[in-house]
Structure 1
Amino acid sequence: MNKLIKLILQYKEYKNCNEYSNEVIFEDIYIELEYLIKSYVCKVTINNRDDFNQDLLSILYRVLQVFELKNNIDYEKVNSIKITMIYNIDDIIKIYDNKYFNAFVSKYKLELYEFDFQNLNHIDLLFYEFNLFCNENQFIKYLNVSLKRKVYSFNSQYRKEQLNKPISLNIMINNEIEYIDLINDEIKSFHKFDESLLSKRDKKFLSLFFENDKILKGVEVANKLGVTQQAVSVRLKRIREKYFKMYKQIYDEVEM
């Protein structure tokens, strides 16, 4: 029950006294949260994901340092339950009357059937576990907010860097971003770039991908034009093939 928050408590307990144990516990915490971390890693471009995964691990580390356990128990209601001498969880739910407690019971109902509520120590244990449940959810919520901010900051900076490149065409096809450098000032052969390679229709089509300093996805351009995303992808493929053919010719000349 509440495995994650118990690992976090262990981690904090060993923080200043056993570095090796702390590293092992951190790994265990990461395993518990791997599904969440990976879901945010997937929100950046493929070529940046390895580094970004390390960035998110740093976020997890920082959140662990600052997170503190809070009390979420209404002890007046708990004392009322003890005095009433209730023997089953359903009656406890009615008296405690708390949506988070209901969620806790729903998640761990099978385990709670093993509790003996005639024993006051078991009632204390019940609400100790409930408090851990609340703190575990608060930790995940706090971590989620921190990860979202990091993703937003990273992607905003990345888009700015791409827009500041000399000339670049950023295309979204099948939810994968391909980056094609059109001009590299350091290579003289690129001065042979012939703007007439693109027709007016091609230029107008490509301009649809740029709107208010944002780069649109293929599906968004398709909606603008009232055509299918496949039609947009085919058109982009033809334009790219023109450039690949031209670059191959330039490369062959340089090699000669």
Structure 2
Amino acid sequence: MLKKLSSIVLKNTGTIYQTALGEFSSANGDLRLLNVTAGTGGRSYMNYSKVPTKLAELCESINQRRKALSKTNVIECYKLSFDAHFHLVTIHPWADGNGRMSRLLMNQLQFEFGIIPTNINKDHKAEYIESLIATRENDDIEPFHNFMFDEHIRNLEQTIRNYQASIEDEGLEPRVDVGINVGINVGINEQRVLEFIRINNRITAKEIAESLSVSLRQGERIMAALKEKGLIKRVGSNKSGHWELRGG
């Protein structure tokens, strides 16, 4: 399936390559029969001879996780799609189009799981590449996960802001009511956290993360953003204190 998709992606731009091992065409979705690097003087990807085996292992791993995965576990669905993206671009199966194919595979899995597809903003390309490098160098998928979740949240929040602005342009009131008149632009998860605190001012970052179905790191990040905006304040110690709303 991946080779078929690659042939569609590169149908009009693919190239025929002549190598010592024979001819192959990227327009046909053929796996590369040559070694490639990331840009001029960049890192080398795995030897072409390893590509078929590694690609088969990746597909097997993805399929096993798909069978065992509950689609109600949204975080794990995103993690699987991000992992597929990372490992495909790392294997670099084709002579061209690997980035596009990795994003396509990620989105294909997300559509299958019924979750909102992830987009990587071109303005954050440098940060994206840094996360790939950090993950490979440390043999730890978390840097890539963290970037992808952060990027997904940024895009969702921007989409919500665009929607709210379009509603206001039409002279209508945005249908967002968390019971707090903050008067400051906040994301949907930040609004939910403000409501959680209004209901229970001793709620912990862990409880917030669980309520939002996000990682603890993301929960802490949202809390930090609210503090920076002056919307919440911690009164007392981390262990026995409570949160105070500052938005009204």
Question: TM-score, with normalisation over the residues of structure 1?
Answer: 0.25
- Which structure carries more helix by proportion? 1
Q: With CA pairs under 8 Å and 6+ residues apart, which has the higher RCO, 1 or 2?
A: 1
